[in-house]
C-alpha cells in the first residue's frame, strides 16, 4: 500500500471516529433544556405599595352662599392669606337690615307695653287690697247690726243701710279681683309679644349675618370663582349652591391617593411614604400615612360603596391620606402626585427573583419523580390531594432541576423573601419564563447564563 493511501485511510478513520463521537454527544443531549440560573442570597427587602392621587391641604372649607343676593364687596383675592374672623365678602343687605330695624322697633314697643301692663297690675293689686279692707269693715258693721237688730235695739232702716254697704263691698271686691286678673292677662300677653318679637329679631339677624362671610381659620384663599356684582344662590335639596371661595390651611399639606383594594390590607397608619409630584420631577418628599378610608370607592364613578346599591364586581379603591413632612411653600393644591408607601421591611432576608416562583400540581410532581433514574432525588412531596397546587422553585442539583416547595414572605420590587425551603447559596432556575412555565420536575438541564431572560418574554 502506498504512503498516500495509508494517509487517506487514517484520515477517513479519524473522520469516522469524530462523527461517531458527535452523534453520541448529540444523542446524549436530547431532552436537555437550556435554563438561566441565579443564586439564593441575602439582601435588604422593602415591600412598597404605589398609588396615585393629588396634593390637598389637610383642612379646607368651601364657603358657600347662604342667601340669594348680589355680591357687593369682595375683600380678598385668590392667594391672599387671611386670619380667623377676617371679613371676606359682603352681599346686598338692604332688605335684611331693614327687617332687623323694624323688628327691633316692634320688640321695643312690646317691652314698653309690658312695662305699662306691669304698672296696671300693680295698680289693680293696690285697688284689690283697698277693696278687701272695705269688705272686711263692711262685714264687721253688718255683723254688729245683725246682732242689734235681732235684739230690737236698732231700727230696721239702720239695719238695711249696713246690709246694703256690705253687699256693695262684696261687689267692689269681686270687681277688683277681676281687674287684677285682666291686668295680669295683659302683662302675660305683652311678655308673649316680647318673646315673639325677640325670636323674630334673632331670625332676621341671622338672615342679616348671612350677608357677611368671615374666615373660619387662618389660611389661604385657594379658589375665588366669583366677582363683585354677581348674584349667588344657596343650595336647594340636591342642587348645590354658589361657592364664593375656598379657604385652606396650608400649614399641613397632604397627598390624597387611591390604593387598590388588593393592597389596602397591607397599609397601616404611621407607615412612611415617598411622594413624587409631576410638577416637580426632580424632588422627592417624605410623608407618613395619617388616614385610611373605611369604605371602598368605585373606580369608575368615585362614589363610595356605602352610597350605592349595585353589587357588581367593579374595581374599587380606598382613600389614603399621607401627611407631607416639610412641604415647600410653592406646593399648590390639586397637583398630581404618586406615593410609594413602604408597608414592610426585612434586613438581610433570604431572597430570590420573583420570576423564579412557579406553581405545580402535587400529582404532577410525584409522577415526574417516580421511576426517574440517574438523577439526584429530592424529598418527595408529602402525601395529599394530587390536584393541590404547590408554590416553589426549581433547584439545580447535579444536572437535574428539582422542584422544591417554598414559603414566601414580603415582596420587593423584583425579589421576594423566602422563609422556608431554601438556603443561602442554592442555585435556582430563574428563566426563561417560557421554560419555567413548562419545566418538569427532575428534568435534565444545562445552564446558559449568557442571555438574560426578557421581562416580556412569553
pLDDT tens sequence across 89-128:
999 999 999 999 999 999 999 999 999 999 999 999 999 8
Q: Which of 6-15, 37-46, 243-252 has the lowest mean pLDDT?
A: 6-15
pTM attached to this predicted model: 0.63
DSSP state at residue 421 = S
Query: Using an 8 Å Cβ cutoff, are 337 and 52 in contact?
Result: yes
How many other C-beta atoms can be found within 10 angstroms of the C-beta atom of residue 302?
10
Q: Which residues contact 64 (CB under 8 A, 6 or more apart)?
A: 234, 235, 240, 241, 242, 243, 244
SS3 track for 387-409 = CCEEEEEEEEECCEEEEEECEEE
Domain of residue 125, residue span: 95-209
Q: Residue 113 falls within a domain, yes or no?
A: yes
Q: What is the pLDDT of residues 150-204, one digit of tens each?
A: 888 888 888 888 889 888 989 998 999 999 999 999 999 999 999 999 999 999 9
CATH number of the CATH domain containing 146: 1.10.287.620
Quick one: 201 and 107 in the same domain?
yes
Residues 297, 262 within the same domain: yes
Q: Please indicate, yes or no, if residue 236 is contained in any of the structural domains.
A: no
- Residue 272, in any domain of the structure: yes
| 316 within domain boundaries | yes
Q: What is the CATH number of the domain that holds 37?
A: 2.40.420.20
Portion of the chain with pLDDT greater than 70, in percent? 86
- Is residue 379's pLDDT more than 80? no
Q: Are residues 111 and 198 in the same domain?
A: yes
If asked whether residues 310 and 339 sit together in one domain, one would say yes
Looking at residue 4, what is its pLDDT?
A: 57
Residue 139: band (very low, low, confident or very high) from pLDDT cuts 50, 70, 90? confident
The answer on 353 and 340 residing in a single domain is no
Q: Residues with Cβ < 8 Å from 99, sequence gap 6 or more?
A: 204, 207, 208
- The domain boundary, picked from 180, 209, 238, lies at 209
Q: Does 222 reside within a domain? A: no
Q: What is the pLDDT of residue 99?
A: 93
Tally of structural domains, the chain: 3
Region of 230 (left: φ > 0; alpha: ψ -120 to 50; beta: rest) is: beta
Residue 76 lies in a domain: no
The answer to whether residues 393 and 36 touch, using CB atoms and an 8 Å cutoff, is no
Q: Tell me whether residue 275 is in a domain.
A: yes
Same domain, residue pair 357 and 340: no
Q: Is residue 78 part of a domain?
A: no
Same domain, 264 and 159: no
Amino acid at each position: 500500500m502506498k504512503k498516500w493511501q495509508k494517509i487517506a485511510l487514517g484520515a477517513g478513520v479519524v473522520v469516522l471516529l469524530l462523527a461517531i463521537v458527535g452523534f453520541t454527544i448529540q444523542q446524549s443531549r436530547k431532552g436537555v433544556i437550556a435554563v438561566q440560573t441565579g443564586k439564593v442570597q441575602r439582601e435588604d427587602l422593602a415591600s412598597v405599595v404605589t398609588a396615585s392621587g393629588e396634593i390637598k391641604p389637610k383642612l379646607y372649607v368651601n364657603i358657600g352662599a347662604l342667601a340669594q343676593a348680589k355680591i357687593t364687596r369682595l375683600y380678598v383675592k385668590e392667594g391672599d392669606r387671611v386670619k380667623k374672623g377676617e371679613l371676606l365678602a359682603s352681599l346686598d343687605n338692604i332688605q335684611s337690615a331693614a327687617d332687623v330695624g323694624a323688628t327691633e322697633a316692634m320688640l321695643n314697643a312690646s317691652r314698653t307695653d309690658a312695662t305699662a301692663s306691669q304698672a296696671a297690675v300693680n295698680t289693680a293689686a293696690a285697688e284689690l287690697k283697698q277693696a278687701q279692707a272695705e269688705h272686711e269693715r263692711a262685714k264687721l258693721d253688718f255683723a254688729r247690726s245683725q246682732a242689734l237688730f235681732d235684739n230690737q235695739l236698732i231700727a230696721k232702716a239702720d239695719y238695711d243701710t249696713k246690709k246694703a254697704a256690705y253687699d256693695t263691698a262684696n261687689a267692689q271686691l269681686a270687681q277688683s279681683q277681676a281687674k287684677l286678673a285682666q291686668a295680669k292677662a295683659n302683662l302675660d300677653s305683652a311678655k308673649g309679644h316680647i318673646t315673639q318679637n325677640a325670636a323674630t329679631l334673632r331670625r332676621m339677624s341671622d338672615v342679616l349675618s348671612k350677608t357677611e362671610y368671615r374666615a373660619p381659620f387662618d389660611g389661604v384663599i385657594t379658589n375665588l370663582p366669583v366677582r363683585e356684582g354677581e348674584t349667588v344662590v344657596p343650595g336647594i335639596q340636591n342642587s348645590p349652591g354658589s361657592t364664593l371661595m375656598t379657604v385652606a390651611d396650608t400649614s399641613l399639606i397632604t397627598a390624597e391617593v387611591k390604593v387598590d383594594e388588593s393592597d389596602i390590607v397591607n397599609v397601616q397608619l404611621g407607615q412612611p411614604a415617598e411622594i413624587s409630584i409631576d410638577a416637580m420631577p426632580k424632588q422627592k418628599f417624605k410623608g407618613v400615612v395619617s388616614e385610611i378610608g373605611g369604605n371602598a370607592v368605585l373606580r369608575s364613578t368615585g362614589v363610595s360603596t356605602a352610597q350605592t346599591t349595585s353589587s357588581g364586581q367593579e374595581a374599587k379603591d380606598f382613600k389614603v391620606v399621607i401627611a407631607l413632612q416639610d412641604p415647600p411653600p410653592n406646593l399648590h393644591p390639586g397637583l398630581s402626585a404618586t406615593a410609594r408607601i413602604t408597608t414592610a421591611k426585612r434586613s438581610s432576608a433570604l431572597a430570590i427573583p420573583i420570576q423564579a416562583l412557579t406553581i405545580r400540581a402535587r400529582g404532577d410532581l410525584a409522577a415526574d419523580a417516580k421511576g426517574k433514574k440517574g438523577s439526584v432525588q429530592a424529598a418527595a412531596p408529602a402525601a395529599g390531594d394530587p390536584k393541590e397546587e404547590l408554590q416553589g422553585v426549581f433547584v439545580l442539583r447535579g444536572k437535574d432541576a428539582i422542584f422544591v416547595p417554598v414559603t414566601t414572605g414580603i415582596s420587593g420590587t423584583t425579589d421576594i423573601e423566602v422563609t422556608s425551603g431554601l438556603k443561602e447559596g442554592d442555585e435556582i432556575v430563574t428563566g426563561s419564563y417560557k421554560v419555567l412555565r413548562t419545566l418538569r420536575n427532575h428534568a435534565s438541564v444545562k445552564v446558559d447564563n449568557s442571555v438574560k431572560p426578557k421581562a416580556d418574554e412569553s
